[in-house]
Amino acid sequence: MSYTKTDKTPIYHDICTLVACGMSIRKAVTAKGISSETFYEELTKNDDLAKRYAQAREKRADARAESIDDLCAKVISGEIDPNAARVAMDAQKWLTARENPKRYGEKLDVTGVPANSVNVLLSTRDKLKRLKRAKEEADAPAAIEEGGA
C-alpha cells in the first residue's frame, strides 16, 4: 500500500501498532519506509499520534514481559544458556520498567504521581513534617521548664 505525501496518518498508526507488538521504533519506521526523523517530527506536531505512540510503548512493555516468559521456557528446555538468558531478561526488565513504570516499575508509588515525574506534593509533605518536628522540639524545653518550676 502506498501513501501520499499529504496523508501519512495510516502509516503512523501502523508504526504505532508495530511498536505495540514489540518492535523497536527504528525497525518499525524502516519497515514502513520512512525515516525516524520524519516520525519524531510528526510526533511533535500531532497530539493524537503522540498519545498513540505513548500507549504503544506501554503495550510494548507487556510484549517485553511476555518475552521474559518465553526466555524462561527456553532455559528450562535447555535451548538457551541460563547466563545468556539472565542478561536478556535483565535488559527486558529494565526496558519494561521504563516503558510502563506504573505497571512494571521497581518502586511502588503510593502518591499517584508517576515515578519519572517530580513529586512536588511529597516534598512539601516532608517539609511540613520537618517543620512540625522542629516546632515540637523547640516547644519541648519550654514545657519542661514550665512543669519543673
* Tens of pLDDT, residues 88-147: 999 988 888 888 888 888 765 566 655 555 444 556 666 677 778 887 887 766 555 555
Q: Are 60 and 22 in contact (CB under 8 A)?
A: yes
More confident residue, 89 or 9: 89
pLDDT tens track for 34-88: 999 999 999 999 999 999 999 999 999 988 888 888 999 999 999 999 999 999 9
The three cell numbers locating residue 96: 519494561
Residue 15 in this model has a pLDDT that exceeds 60:
yes
pLDDT tens track for 17-26: 999 999 999 9
Q: What is the pLDDT of residue 135?
A: 79
SS3 of the chain: the string is CCCCCCCCHHHHHHHHHHHHCCCCHHHHHHHCCCCHHHHHHHHHHCHHHHHHHHHHHHHHHHHHHHHHHHHHHHHHHCCCCHHHHHHHHHHHHHHHHHHCHHHHCCCCCCCCCCCCCCCHHHHHHHHHHHHHHHHHHHHHHHHHHHHHC
d(CA 130, CA 33): 57
The pLDDT-based confidence of 7 (bands split at 50, 70, 90) is: low
